[in-house]
Chain A
Amino acid sequence: MRTELTDTTASAVRTALMRCCQQMGGLTTGVVLNLVVMTDEAGQYDAMKAASQAGREHPCQVIGVIARKAGGQRRLDAEIAVGENAPGQQVLLRTYGELNEHVDSVVTPLLVPDTPVVIWWPGYAPQAPAADPLGLLGQRRITDVVTTEAPRERLLQLAAGYRPGDTDLAWARTTTWRSLLAATLDRPPGVIFEATVAAEPDNPSADLMVAWLAGRLGVPVKSEISGGPGITEVNFDTDGGRIGISRLDGRNATLSRPGEPDRYVALHRRDIAELLAEELRRLDPDEVYGEALATLQATAGGT
């Protein structure tokens, strides 16, 4: 069921939303979280789609917010969709004029009570998400530095403004790699002297991976440039030889250990909806990410 409201107020949106839900059979009951998506006209289609796909795993109320022209008349437009090809409910808000500075005043009354709030900036994000008026509403704040022009600098900025509850999709992109690396080291590898991470240039996931490995292993971790896509190789140099995983095509990885035939592992790159679903699985602060960011910041400060 869809409804559009133009030049409206938050309370009118709320009333319309409740009416939609009642007509569709009271869907609010199944909602486990509020997902606020700060997007723009160009990115809204993909972002809302990813959010509703992630909503299949985590039924949520998605509130998309697009800040339109800052100048001119103050105005609020809303599109409501309930039970349309996704569980939960979706609201897309467009703000105009000086309302752009007070988006939180529109979002707050629409949040489903007794239910956690997650803020996601699929593109541009504030330097310190936790200090942002909307960021303050969320117990989890998700950014994505990959979509910005200078991902590495952005990552360092995020590190400077880090508060528990912050997280970045560049970190989620490392999960399948990290999981495979952890599984690889479940078999005692011997003494690790050094590790290497190879990735395409300017890849923030690789930076986080290097920082994480350095922090966990306590050995030097070198980073190398490759042709991509994403991270292509992680190697551990041990007293018994080199243990390595390489993935050159973004789908299939090879695990090699000294004295053993190479083994084949599926390691595909995941899309935004999958990454977002992973982020939403746990809403407590990701301390391991915080530590990796801190390591990254310390290393960057040292050079």
Chain B
Amino acid sequence: MNAPGDRRLAVNPLRDPRDRRIPRVAEPSVLVMFGVTGDLAQKKLLPAIYDLANRGLLPPGFSLVGYARRDWGDQDFAKLTNEAIREHARTRFRDEVWEQVREGIRFCSGDFSDDNAFDQLADTVSRLDAERGTGGNRAFYLSIPPGQFPVVVKQLERSGLSGDSVSPGWRRVVIEKPFGHDLVSARELNDLLASVFPPYSVFRIDHYLGKETVQNLLALRFANTLFEPIWNRGYVDHVQITMSEDIGIGSRAGYYDGIGAARDVIQNHLLQLLALTVMEEPVSFHPAALRAEKQKALSAVQLPEDMATGTARGQYAAGWQGGIPVRGFLAEDGIAPDSVTETYAAVKLGVDTRRWAGVPFYLRTGKRLATRMTEIAVIFQRAPHLPFNATDARELGENALVIRVQPDEGVTLRFGSKVPGSAMEVRDVNMDFAYGESFTESSPEAYERLLLDVLIGDPPLFPGHEEVELSWQILDPIEQFWASGGHPEAYPAGSAGPASADALMARDGRAWRRL
């Protein structure tokens, strides 16, 4: 409430942190999307915008501007958006919500090198400010190949779209991985973005960080007392972080060849999961505090002393994947028959901190594996002494806490339990928490959460450029070692990966979890 003398409202009087029913709503703004005809835009981004609108999280006046090299008018882009929504949106289609979205849809046609087209885009966006009260707030979503970032970013600057310190409203730019292909290129990309946008305006999307389970990892670790005391080298034997895919590279040959599994997945997703698993408790969930802890964690990561035994790579060969015969990687369209790009990568990392010294972290990812699955498995040490007869506990494995990121999001705790009967026999059982059991209908897509965070300007779930660079510092030596010679080991499609990866674990007296 305001003092009678000064009724000018500095803060919104209708907002109250205790009022949890009123959701965080994005500010009136324009989302300018490059690459609207791409797969990601069709399947994820456009549907996510509708889902946000349907949940009442987009403000009146929110506008969406598409930019592509198509000879289209606003209504053609609206039609494309409508189709994408009807096919892929998570929430029910409602005419009135669509009408609200449609009213703010604009389209600009042109090349990325076309000065005129960008001037037109600038014109369209500033007209929206006047027509729909978007107040100069702009987010630029670059859903385009990274090779085209420089030209688009320069165009944004030249046309004045990126604004300057005196223009009203905010400017934000959103980019998708890959954030470079090594440390040098990552720095170049960052320099390019930094020349036009201040660091806090750059949002790097790692959609894994938008997933409920990944955010739940923070809740699991820092909202409970149960796990913290055992979350260290005193109790943890090792950690396995896995992202396996059952699909091949599909039509992504152009992007994938020369990049490979490690750059595509380990550098971003898996190292982010590792950082969240090993980091110390942040002093708050303020973005700077969270990033500081993740950076500390990543800077403590140690590479294997011997790269030859501490890493493994593979390439899928022809085989049977889930009952269907599939081609090998080298036979995929657009892949050179002598390509040494790996489609499977495994590394053993250490984390040199008091908490984790000596605990190995095994990261693996691959395509055309037996199943699609992403998980973080924290495997605990065996009890130091078992007061049972040797045969009683023969079937007892190691205790484990498994955070299932996808599919079937949830948490599993595995421990030993007595088998009913007159004999003392101990066997592993699972205690399970599954989101998928009943929460699926309301659990928002990662992109909904991330888009909303961009429009609100809430960056904790987006990795900063320091994290990106630290991750490349971890991966670059491994890539250099692999580039120094040899060929990735072939593994049959539909299997659990190359034999060298199993050997990597076997040398430590351990085994990968079954996919």
Instruction: Enumerate chain A interface residues (CB-CB to B < 8 A).
Output: 29-30, 55-59, 87-88, 172, 175-176, 178-192, 213, 215-219, 251-252, 255, 257, 260-261, 263-268, 277-278, 281-282, 286-288
Q: Assess the B2–A187 pair: CB atoms within 8 A.
A: no
Nearest Cβ on chain A to B66's Cβ, whole angstroms: 20
Q: Assess the A216–B13 pair: CB atoms within 8 A.
A: yes
- Taking CB atoms and an 8 Å cut-off, the chain B residues in 409-426 that contact chain A are none
Q: Assess the A251–B441 pair: CB atoms within 8 A.
A: no
- Taking CB atoms and an 8 Å cut-off, the chain B residues in 85-113 that contact chain A are 94, 96-97, 99-100, 103
Q: Assess the A57–B22 pair: CB atoms within 8 A.
A: no
Nearest Cβ on chain A to B25's Cβ, whole angstroms: 4
Q: Assess the B19–A288 pair: CB atoms within 8 A.
A: yes
The 6 A-B residue pairs with the shortest CB-CB distance, nearest first, are: A59-B438, A87-B438, A266-B96, A182-B14, A266-B97, A218-B1
Q: Assess the A264–B100 pair: CB atoms within 8 A.
A: yes
Nearest Cβ on chain B to A26's Cβ, whole angstroms: 10
With A56-B441, A172-B21 as contacts: A251 and B96 at CB distance below 8 Å: yes
Q: Does B20 contact A (CB under 8 A)?
A: yes
Q: Does B60 contact A (CB under 8 A)?
A: yes
Task: Report the interface size class on chain B.
Answer: 35 or more
Question: Could you say which of A182, A215, A251 contacts B22, with CB atoms under 8 Å apart?
Answer: A182
Residue among B19, B21, B100 with max Cβ neighbours from chain A (10 Å): B21
- Taking CB atoms and an 8 Å cut-off, the chain B residues in 362-384 that contact chain A are none
Q: Assess the A179–B56 pair: CB atoms within 8 A.
A: yes
Cα–Cα distance between A261 and B19 once the two chains are bound (Å): 31
Contact partners of B354 in chain A: CB under 8 A: none
Contact partners of A282 in chain B: CB under 8 A: 20-21
12 of the cross-chain contacts (CB-CB < 8 Å) are A29-B432, A30-B438, A87-B437, A179-B56, A181-B14, A183-B25, A186-B25, A189-B9, A217-B13, A257-B133, A265-B100, A277-B442
Nearest Cβ on chain B to A140's Cβ, whole angstroms: 13
Residue of B nearest to A254 (CB): B60
Contact partners of A185 in chain B: CB under 8 A: 9, 12-14
Q: A216-B13, A216-B14 are in contact. List 18 more A-B contacts (CB 8 A).
A: A30-B434, A59-B439, A87-B438, A175-B22, A178-B21, A179-B25, A183-B59, A185-B9, A186-B25, A192-B9, A216-B16, A263-B133, A264-B60, A266-B96, A266-B99, A268-B94, A282-B21, A288-B21
Residue among B16, B23, B56 with max Cβ neighbours from chain A (10 Å): B56
Cα–Cα distance between A172 and B135 once the two chains are bound (Å): 31
Cα–Cα distance between A277 and B151 once the two chains are bound (Å): 47
Contact partners of B61 in chain A: CB under 8 A: 255, 263
Cα–Cα distance between A219 and B133 once the two chains are bound (Å): 26
Cα–Cα distance between A45 and B112 once the two chains are bound (Å): 59
Residue of A nearest to B25 (CB): A183
Nearest Cβ on chain B to A173's Cβ, whole angstroms: 11
Nearest Cβ on chain A to B485's Cβ, whole angstroms: 52
Residue of B nearest to A174 (CB): B21
Contact partners of A88 in chain B: CB under 8 A: 438
Q: Assess the B94–A266 pair: CB atoms within 8 A.
A: yes
With A186-B12, A217-B13, A264-B99 as contacts: A180 and B60 at CB distance below 8 Å: yes
Cα–Cα distance between A255 and B99 once the two chains are bound (Å): 14
Residue of A nearest to B4 (CB): A218
Cα–Cα distance between A214 and B54 once the two chains are bound (Å): 29
Q: Does B15 contact A (CB under 8 A)?
A: yes
Q: Does B8 contact A (CB under 8 A)?
A: yes
Contact partners of B12 in chain A: CB under 8 A: 182, 185-186
Q: Assess the A186–B27 pair: CB atoms within 8 A.
A: yes
With A186-B25, A191-B7, A288-B19 as contacts: A265 and B60 at CB distance below 8 Å: yes
Cα–Cα distance between A303 and B479 once the two chains are bound (Å): 78
Nearest Cβ on chain B to A232's Cβ, whole angstroms: 16
Contact partners of B27 in chain A: CB under 8 A: 186
Residue of B nearest to A268 (CB): B96
Question: Could you say which of B14, B60, B100, B437 contacts A30, with CB atoms under 8 Å apart?
Answer: B437
Q: Assess the B13–A183 pair: CB atoms within 8 A.
A: no
Nearest Cβ on chain A to B39's Cβ, whole angstroms: 28
Contact partners of B18 in chain A: CB under 8 A: 287-288
Contact partners of A182 in chain B: CB under 8 A: 12, 14-15, 22, 25
Contact partners of A260 in chain B: CB under 8 A: 131-133
Nearest Cβ on chain A to B15's Cβ, whole angstroms: 5
Residue of B nearest to A171 (CB): B21
Residue among B7, B23, B54 with max Cβ neighbours from chain A (10 Å): B7
Contact partners of A252 in chain B: CB under 8 A: 96, 99
Question: Could you say which of A172, A217, A264, A286 contacts B103, with CB atoms under 8 Å apart?
Answer: A264
Contact partners of A281 in chain B: CB under 8 A: 20
Cα–Cα distance between A192 and B9 once the two chains are bound (Å): 8
Residue among A182, A183, A218 with max Cβ neighbours from chain B (10 Å): A183
Nearest Cβ on chain A to B57's Cβ, whole angstroms: 9
Nearest Cβ on chain B to A211's Cβ, whole angstroms: 13
Nearest Cβ on chain B to A275's Cβ, whole angstroms: 11
Q: Assess the A263–B103 pair: CB atoms within 8 A.
A: yes
Q: Assess the A183–B60 pair: CB atoms within 8 A.
A: yes
Q: Does B28 contact A (CB under 8 A)?
A: yes
Cα–Cα distance between A183 and B132 once the two chains are bound (Å): 14
